[in-house]
Amino acid sequence: MPGIVAVILDSRAFEILARCFLTFVFWSSGLAKLIEFSASAAVMEAFGLQPGWAVNALTLALQIVASLMIIFDRGTWAAAGALAVFTLLTIPIAHPFWSKEGEEAFRDLTVALEHLSRVGGLVMAAILSRRGKGRCP
């Protein structure tokens, strides 16, 4: 491995940046749900999740708090697990590609596959966090 790559990969700052990138979709979505609370609650109700305001509040809290836990490497295994389960549950609720046809089915299938990849990234974050506990700061 080239020396510069090793220096970058060993950098704590680069690790934090990677954790921010991994969780970006979650914390940015959580902030959007907070800023547009009523509209987001209405979306929850449109998916059949009642009451929309409570589901929205719980969702944005999960997205923001779990993201911060991963970014700061505190309880990463629990936060990554919670976000992974959340991400998998969004597939049948918001992206049921098997019940659609044509372009809409393809779009939801693509999102579902991206969700599976994101779950893999979350699992890797938990694994690497566990392995890194013995290293020097």
- Give the closest residue to 69 by CA, choosing from 55, 59, 83: 83
Give pLDDT, residue 3: 95
Question: In this model, does residue 24 exceed pLDDT 90?
Answer: yes
Band (pLDDT 50/70/90 cuts) for residue 137 is very low
Q: Is 43 exposed, middle or buried, given 0-12, 13-18 or 19+ CB atoms closer than 10 A?
A: middle
Question: What tokens does 111 get?
Answer: 């999102």
Instruction: Verify cis geometry, omega within 30 degrees of 0, for the bond prior to 2.
Output: no
- Are 93 and 47 spatial neighbours (Cβ–Cβ below 8 Å)? yes
Question: What tokens does 119 get?
Answer: 């779950």
Largest CA distance in the chain: 54
Band (pLDDT 50/70/90 cuts) for residue 19 is very high
Please tell me whether the overall predicted TM-score, pTM, comes out greater than 0.85 for this model: yes
Question: In this model, does residue 134 exceed pLDDT 60?
Answer: no
Band (pLDDT 50/70/90 cuts) for residue 132 is confident
Backbone region of residue 84 per phi and psi (left: phi > 0; alpha: psi in -120 to 50; beta: other values): alpha
Give the model confidence (pLDDT) of 72-115 as tens digits: 999 999 999 999 999 999 999 999 999 999 999 999 999 999 99
Average pLDDT over residues 17-46: 98
Average pLDDT over residues 4-30: 96
